[in-house]
A and B are shown apart, each in its own frame.
Chain A
Amino acid sequence: MAALTTDLHIAKQRRRLLNQAAITFLALFLLSVFLMPLGYGLVTSLKSQSQASDARAPILPTAVVTYTYEGETYDVFEVPYEGGVGKWALIRRGRANSDFIDTENPEAGLITWEGNWRALNQVREPSVEWSNYPRAWEQINFPRLLGNTLMYAGITLAGTLVASSMVAYGFARFRFPFKNLLFIILVSTIILPPQATLIPTYAFFVTTLGWGGTWLPLIVPQMFGNAYNVFLLRQYFMTIPREIEEAATVDGAGPFRIFISVILPQAAPALTAVALFHFFFAWNDFFGPLIYLAGNRSANPITVGLTEFNGLYNTEPQLILAASVISMVLPLAIFFMAQRVFIQGIVVTGVDK
């Protein structure tokens, strides 16, 4: 009887291990497929232009080997001959036969090889074009794009944090007329498309105020808070026990004092999450800068700069990829450092059970 239960136990454990292996292996496989384009982007951004646009070139960054003979540069091919395969430089190209120099034994002089040289493979060696990165960095003028993007992200971050947390506190703690209706409207503005408001706003900012080509039309509306951030902060404020505020009221603090010195310090994790969300939003914002900054290229953020770069350099895919990689470094670095707060934040806004 005891032996039987041990057997059962072992069988169960074995099944569990098998399941673990299968599921984890499946996840690893899917993850590598999912991240494959990132690998492609990294590898190709380190290739030379000719290799990046060559369909038959090897997967990893390599360069064609050349050989200098009597002051001229020649391509080197893998040439089969009686003694094996040699690395021979092609000196004279012919249809039926061609002249080569054996790069390992140049003293032997010209060798005439019978056959079509076009059927031969070029000799390649690993060669990493690190210089693509400085080139892309300079040609896209990354420091200026970065400066514009950070300026936008920084100013609107401060504005939206102050405004959104105030509004969220109002909805979380106070009773006032039409509160429910206003809250439903707030949530609806998260869901419904904002394009219907776009044209008069655009005409007003650009024609009436003459703000076209500046960041002002993008910055000013953010100073009034953002519905999504308000929602997230309100959810968090509602979990803060009221007793703390009541104690402060007894001590004679007014609602504004309580908000600043009691609520905000308590809500640090939620404020951090909102700050992160806003940073990623600003880093990615595209449509607004596209329409409002049109005609003023020096004000471009990274997104619009990258799009223009793609149009101008479409013959140099390796530079486009290098610029794309440069643009993702900062957001990814911030994410990996702050992922716990960040993921928690998404879960709170999405579902919090």
Chain B
Amino acid sequence: MDALSEIRNVRSEPRVGLREWFKLSPARQREARWGLLFISPWLIGFLLFYLVPMIASFIFSLMDFTLSAPEDARFNGLDNWRRMLFEDPNTWQSLGVTLKFALVSLPIGMGSAFLLAVLLNSKFLVGRSFFRTLFYAPSLIPGIASILIWAQVLNNSTGWVNRFIELFGITAIGPSGLRWLDDPNLIYIAYTFIGLWGIGNAMLINLAGLQGVPTELYEAAEIDGAGWWSRLRRITIPMVSPVIFYNLILSVVGLLQYFITPFVLNQGNGYPEGATRFYMINFYKQAFNFQNMGYGAALAWLMFIIALVITIALFISGRYWVYYAGEQK
């Protein structure tokens, strides 16, 4: 069971609220005390490093507060929020950049993780565990190292990608060629390539989902004369839709926080032409370069709200396309 499906299970368990707790037998009360004792590290950590900072962050967002001059901090009402939403063009520009990148990289990333899993699950593949290990291994190459390597592979003149394309007589090297990391039209594809080494987890989760599909379904479909494509579309995809759903939510929320690649390659300066000024980059600049804690907190809260809205929207849409085995519609 993945983390999301688990929520559904938990909700069906009998609830013990505070009022019921006082009516419990001494043995049950002792059990509850032990339980709370065991979870107390997380409970304290959650309060100290999550709940209190969340609330503080909201209060900060209503303040004019720079870290270099904390004594000048004062409340300024909704000024930060107004500036963020209506005056600062960077907010919407960086959200637009993030959305554009998501539209390119999400389908390619999720699609390749799924198709790779289908390939690795094929009964015709010889040496499955060999392939599984080697397709997964690049996920463990440190992110920075893989960014630096890919950036050189995509280098306009010395990279292998362009030198390979040149073999077919296409001009790829040079200013009129394919400038993967300098051309605002190609940059999202280049960044998507850079991210491909990270699909290992999604691929393995997909693979586990595929292995869980009962083989009788395929046998029955084969008897009915269903081909490869219609079996994929009518059996495989619906049966692994909870896995796709889980990967989708993690990818979307992860993309909102997309930061390391543009930061490592261009120090977050947005090169080329602002195409890599992602939302997180904008947030980092405001909060940690300009030390603008109040405005940064507003940007962080907006990000949280967007993530929450998208997650809820995906959960609602999931009712129509995610199939949970053993559940009645």
Chain A residues at the B interface, C-beta cutoff of 8 Å: 16, 19-20, 22-24, 26-27, 30-31, 34-38, 40-41, 44, 52-55, 59, 163-164, 166-167, 169-171, 173-180, 182-187, 189-204, 206-207, 221, 223-225, 227, 230-231, 235, 255, 259, 280, 283-284, 286-287, 291, 294, 302-303, 306-307, 310-311, 317, 320-321, 324-325, 327-328, 331-332, 335-336, 339, 343, 346-347, 349-353
CB pair B49–A302 under 8 Å, yes or no, is: no
CB pair A176–B16 under 8 Å, yes or no, is: yes
CB pair B145–A306 under 8 Å, yes or no, is: yes
CB pair B49–A224 under 8 Å, yes or no, is: yes
Name the contact of A351 in the complex, choosing from B125, B146, B205, B260 (C-beta under 8 A). Answer: B205
Known: A284-B143, A332-B137. A353 touches B208 (CB 8 A): yes
CB pair B17–A55 under 8 Å, yes or no, is: no
A191-B311, A347-B204 known, 8 other contacts, Cβ within 8 Å: A24-B125, A27-B120, A34-B196, A171-B35, A196-B303, A199-B57, A207-B70, A350-B246
- Asked if B132 CB lies within 8 Å of chain A CBs, one says yes
- Asked if B169 CB lies within 8 Å of chain A CBs, one says no
CB pair B10–A183 under 8 Å, yes or no, is: yes
CB pair A53–B253 under 8 Å, yes or no, is: no
- CA gap between A248 and B46 in the complex, in Å: 32
- Asked if B101 CB lies within 8 Å of chain A CBs, one says no
Residues from chain A with Cβ under 8 Å of B2 in the complex: 349-352
CB pair B149–A321 under 8 Å, yes or no, is: yes
CB pair B16–A197 under 8 Å, yes or no, is: no
- Asked if B62 CB lies within 8 Å of chain A CBs, one says no
Closest to B153 in A: A37
CB distance from A300 to the nearest CB of B (A): 12
Q: Which of A20, A23, A193 gathers most chain B CB within 10 Å?
A: A193
Which chain B residues numbered 117 to 174 have a C-beta less than 8 Å away from chain A?
Answer: 119-120, 122, 124-127, 131-138, 140-146, 148-150, 152-153, 155, 157-160, 163, 173
Q: Which of A26, A176, A302, A353 gathers most chain B CB within 10 Å?
A: A176
- Chain B contact residue count (CB 8 A cutoff): 113
- CA gap between A186 and B152 in the complex, in Å: 40
Residues from chain A with Cβ under 8 Å of B38 in the complex: 166-167, 169-170, 174, 255, 259
Closest to B196 in A: A34
CB pair A351–B42 under 8 Å, yes or no, is: no
- CA gap between A336 and B283 in the complex, in Å: 38
Known: A184-B10, A286-B260, A346-B204. A328 touches B249 (CB 8 A): no
Known: A30-B119, A41-B152, A197-B57. A174 touches B144 (CB 8 A): no
- Asked if B313 CB lies within 8 Å of chain A CBs, one says no
Residues from chain A with Cβ under 8 Å of B150 in the complex: 37
Residues from chain B with Cβ under 8 Å of A23 in the complex: 119, 122, 124-126
Residues from chain B with Cβ under 8 Å of A178 in the complex: 16-18
Q: Which of A54, A204, A259 gathers most chain B CB within 10 Å?
A: A204
Residues from chain B with Cβ under 8 Å of A197 in the complex: 49-50, 53-54, 57
Residues from chain B with Cβ under 8 Å of A255 in the complex: 34, 38
CB pair B67–A206 under 8 Å, yes or no, is: yes
Residues from chain B with Cβ under 8 Å of A40 in the complex: 149, 152-153, 159-160
CB distance from B244 to the nearest CB of A (A): 11
CB pair B56–A200 under 8 Å, yes or no, is: yes
User: Which of B82-90, B218-226, B230-238, B293-301 is near enough to bind chain A?
Assistant: B293-301
CB pair A31–B135 under 8 Å, yes or no, is: yes
Q: Which 6 A-B pairs have the closest CB atoms?
A: A224-B45, A174-B35, A170-B38, A350-B205, A200-B56, A353-B212
Residues from chain A with Cβ under 8 Å of B32 in the complex: 174-177
- CA gap between A327 and B147 in the complex, in Å: 13
- CA gap between A128 and B201 in the complex, in Å: 36
CB pair A177–B21 under 8 Å, yes or no, is: yes
CB pair A339–B133 under 8 Å, yes or no, is: yes
- CA gap between A72 and B8 in the complex, in Å: 80
- Asked if B109 CB lies within 8 Å of chain A CBs, one says no
